[in-house]
Each structure stands twice: as C-alpha cells, then as structure tokens.
Amino acid sequence: MQAFLAEKYRRTGSMRTVQSYSRILNAFFGHLGKTPDQTVTAEAMSSCFGKGVSGKEPAALTVGSRIAAISSFYRFLIRMDLMTSNPCERLERPKHTPSPARGLSGDDVKNLLGVIPDDIGGRRDRAIILTLVLTGRRRSEVLNLKAMDIEFDEERAYYSYRGKGGKNGRRELPRPAFVAIQRTLKDCGKSFSTMAPDESLWQAGAGAQGVSQPTAYARFKRYLVAAGLPPTGFHILRHSAAKLRRDAGDNVEAVSQFLDHSSLAVTSVYLRRLEVAEDASWGKVAEAIGL
C-alpha cells in the first residue's frame, strides 16, 4: 500500500489525494479484516455503497471516491503481478452531477483586494491572491513557490510549477503579481538577487518557512466575509481566473490550455457560459480588476 500511495503522489502531485486514498483503503481492509486476495466483489460493493460512521447513506461523490481508490489499488496490484482480478471492476459508479462552477467577477475581486489591510501580512496575502487570480494556478502550486521557481528574461519574469498529474510548466508571471511579490519580499528584507533557491516567497510576517496553507486559508475566508462575499475555498480564484479570461475574449481552447486541462470537457466545469507559455491575456484581466 505504501508503494501504491508513493506512486499515486508522484503521478498526481497531490498530497490531499494520497491522504484520501489512504483513509479509504485503511477503512476498507481494516473493516473486512482480509487481505486483498481474499476480498470478493460483493464485499467491495457493500463497503463502497455502505453507510459511514455518521449512519447516513453516502453521497454519489463519496461512493465514487471509494470505488476509485480501491479499484486503483487493485489495478496497481495487478500491474505488480500480485493479483489477477479487480473486485471493483463490475461495480457501477453512481452518476454525480457536479455543482455549477462559481467564479468572482472583476468587481468582486476589486472588493476583495480592497479589504486587505496595507500591512506586512496583508501585502503578503495580496500578492498570493493576485498570483492565484492572474495565473489560474492551484493553491498548493502558488503557496509552494520558492525563489528558484522564478526566472528572468529581459523585461519579463517567469515561474515554474509542478501541477496536478505531475505536469511541469513554465509560464510568464504577470507583472502585477511580480510587483506584489517583490513588495512582500521587501517587507521581510529579502530580494530575488540575495535569496537562497529554496526560500519561500511568502515569508513576510510568517517566518522562513513561509505562510502555512491553513493560515492563508483562514485569512482568505476573513477577507471574503469583509468584502461581502460568501466564504469558500481558494479554488474559487481558479474558477475566477478562467471566467475573467473568458470574459476578456479568450476562447475555450485558450482557457483550457491556460488551466492545463486534459480536455475541453473538464474546462466546461469552470465556464458557465460555454455554448458550443507566453501569457498574452493577463493585462486585460489586470485591467478588469483595477490594477
């Protein structure tokens, strides 16, 4: 199981996925008290569709997650020549209708930025939020940025990242985000020319390790409330980045490439109005949010 989870992390780059799979697998085999070769389809079905500790019927998304984790583990065992069959192979996954994608408008982002205080912690948070909105990267991809991930070429800055599914990329860092990062680094006496390669970009007011994800999330929720916006997670800024680019005139293919999606079908989740390496659009988005 450890080898399977290690491989899953290398493939997805998501510790949250690994933790979720680990919980599901430990609960599954711990409840059965059997080894994988002793488990049959009926037991897998009972576990995947059964009630949890709350005593409630599981949602379709929960059932799907259970099946995905257990089935993925068995496929790994088959590839390792440790098993010959998968007890989840004949299970039908329930249909799950994802909730409509939500995204902030340009005015919403203006209001959000407007409530962030102009102090050391606020300037750091502003830089994080601007980077999320203007790049469309995921929370972990931005909060894990280090000095070595930023490069310069004449008048432009570029950032390197490791995205979902192990995808590595290098993109232009929109200038408003770069300026905001420079300002927050100055607050803690740092600059790109003097920083060690593995130093976090988000040290101001947080220490050398950079701001933690729970702290950044808690502060973000407070800003949302202060701006009169419903509390939600950082992922809404990725939705917002896609929505703002679509509103700025980018076609669906361009937005899909911007988000590193594997297909246009995935992008459609982010774009309500779907009807049918150098970043050339960040200027329009920056203008839309008053930068």
Buried b (16+ CB within 10 A) or exposed e, 25-55: beebbeebeeebeebeeeebbebbeeeeeee
What whole-number distance in Å separates Cα of residue 285 and Cα of residue 168? 24
pLDDT of residue 268: 63
**Residues linked to residue 157 through DSSP beta bridges, in sequence order:** 152
Cα-flanking dihedrals φ and ψ of residue 2, to 5°? -60, -40
CB of 188 within 8 A of CB of 195? no
pLDDT of residue 263: 67
CA max distance for the chain: 63
What whole-number distance in Å separates Cα of residue 289 and Cα of residue 62? 37
pLDDT, tens digit only, all 291 positions of the chain: 999 999 988 877 677 889 999 999 999 999 899 999 999 999 999 999 998 777 888 888 899 999 999 999 999 999 999 999 999 999 988 876 655 557 888 999 999 999 999 999 999 999 999 999 999 999 989 999 999 999 998 789 999 988 776 678 889 999 999 999 999 999 999 999 899 999 999 999 998 899 998 999 999 999 999 999 998 889 899 988 888 888 888 887 887 888 777 666 666 655 654 333 457 788 888 888 888
pLDDT of residue 53: 73
Residue pLDDT, tens place only, 175-188: 999 999 999 999 99
pLDDT of residue 273: 44
Tell me the average pLDDT of the chain: 87
Q: Which domains does the chain have, with CATH numbers?
A: 2-79 (no CATH), 106-288 (1.10.443.10)
pLDDT of residue 99: 58
148 Cβ contact list (under 8 Å, min separation 6): 197, 198
Three-state SS string over 51-112 comes to CCCCCCCCCHHHHHHHHHHHHHHHHHHHHCCCCCCCCCCCCCCCCCCCCCCCCCCHHHHHHH
pLDDT of residue 69: 94
pLDDT of residue 275: 36
Count of other CB atoms within 10 angstroms of residue 121: 17
Q: Residue 120, Cα to own-chain centre: how many angstroms?
A: 25
Residue pLDDT, tens place only, 203-251: 999 988 999 989 999 999 999 999 999 988 898 999 888 888 888 888 8
CB of 18 within 8 A of CB of 8? yes
Give me the helix-helix angle, 41-49 and 60-79, nearest 10°: 150
Say whether pTM exceeds 0.75. no
Task: Tell which phi-psi region holds residue 154, choosing left (phi > 0), alpha (psi between -120 and 50) or beta.
Answer: left
pLDDT of residue 264: 64
Residue pLDDT, tens place only, 259-268: 777 666 666 6
